[in-house]
Amino acid sequence: MKAQENGSSIFRNLTVLSIEQALSLPFFTYRLVQEGMRVIRVEPPGRGDPNRYVGTDVLGEEAMGSYFLPYNAGKESITLNLASEEGRGILHRLVAELPVDIFASNTRPMNYARLGIDYETLRQLKPDLIWVGVTGFGPDIDEPAYDPILQARAGYMDLTGEPDRPPQLFGLPMADMGVAEHGYGQVMKALFQRAVSGEGSRIDVAMYDSVISWTVIPFTMARTFGTVMKRTGNTHQFYAPASMFPSADGYVFVAVGSDQQWAQLTRMPEFAPLAREEYRHNAGRSANAQTLNRELAEITRTRTAAEVAPFFAEAGIPFSKIYTLPEVVEDPFAESKLLSASDPRTGLRVEMPPPPVMTPFLQEEHMAFSFAPRLGEHNHRIYGETLGYNPVEIAAFHQRGII
């Protein structure tokens, strides 16, 4: 009963069928894997997802590049040619007979009906199906989109970088991961609705809607108040000091969020020279941010990050050394909660960052997933054991390019 109470057995019983490629939808289904759901990738025969060929060939085999491995751990893979009528028929059997609880696709909307994956078609096969479509700009707009395009369109690049330099791409694919997280939330809501009413639902999640929803401050400032926020590099437009500063062994970031914090800091002898009237309130510090940051840097540069950290901690000021990625992966906070997947063929162990929230499934599985699937690795199991096709029929599907 304990597993049932914490919810893990409920999610373990859910099946997700996903026609996915690139990063947005695969990252979304990776989040569902972390809840214990069974996720089956549907890929075209032949080369499959183009992201299989990105990164380093760490296994010595085709279609398993290092970029593909982490966010596809825990999934299964089948191949299916949906351009053929026979392939579409097999997909429809899968939806009904697996049975599928959640169907997801990040195919362009113009292809929904042609591939037989539109909501109206699939709901006839399973009325309580939760259908998810991830698009660039919504189901009525067929414009293709990748993460950088959305960052450019939603103003992210205009807000990123130094004020006297060109716009820059954000360091992580926020449009891809953002729409994945928003889709995850909508699916959880749809599952609750289905549990209460027994009804399925259609969910359309657009990357543009996702990224623009996070621009609450800059969007409202520009539209309502005529205040255009600009690139500020490593500083903050409305708070000071909130910036990167040199230390004797690298860089640190300091973010003073209140006048009280600043007063606490400048009571210390090391920072007493900065206890000036023009810096007493945030408005004054912001107006004189360049001078203030230069003066504060003269103090921080004389000490290592470890030596200067206690001063900011005593003042209650958020502070961090700026970690390199090699340092991040060795951080005890991360190391204690790593996710992993080991390849039974080669023994390669892939380690991934901790999840945003620990789930009962992850605890039960000791933070380990099955390895990312080879292309079509589960064809025989799913087409044979689930749909009942015999080996001769499956071989014929291969020969005709159906799977």
Residues serving a catalytic function are 176
Other C-beta atoms within 10 Å of 268: how many? 15
For 339, list phi and psi in degrees, rounded to 5. -95, 155
Instruction: Give the three-class secondary structure for 81.
Output: coil
Q: Where are the alpha helices (DSSP H) in 141-236?
A: 147-153, 174-197, 207-213, 216-225
For 134, list phi and psi in degrees, rounded to 5. -105, 120
Q: Are strands 368-370 and 339-342 parallel, antiparallel or unpaired?
A: parallel
Name the DSSP letter for residue 8.
Answer: H
Edge-first strand listing for the sheet containing 242-247: 242-247, 250-255, 319-321
The residue written with tokens 């001078």 in the block is: 291
Closest CA to 163 of 254, 62, 232: 232
Contact 24, 210 (CB under 8 A): no
Cα–Cα distance measured from residue 98 to residue 16, given in angstroms and rounded to the nearest whole number:
10
Report how far apart, in Å, the C-alpha atoms of 128 and of each of 9, 33, 131, 133, 201 are.
19, 21, 9, 16, 7
Closest CA to 376 of 14, 52, 48, 50: 48
Contact 206, 136 (CB under 8 A): yes
108 is written with which tokens? 């362009």
Closest CA to 161 of 229, 114, 102: 229
Report how far apart, in Å, the C-alpha atoms of 119 and of each of 109, 115, 116, 205 are.
11, 11, 9, 14
The dihedral of CA 187, 193, 198, 199: what is its sign?
negative
Contact 70, 350 (CB under 8 A): yes
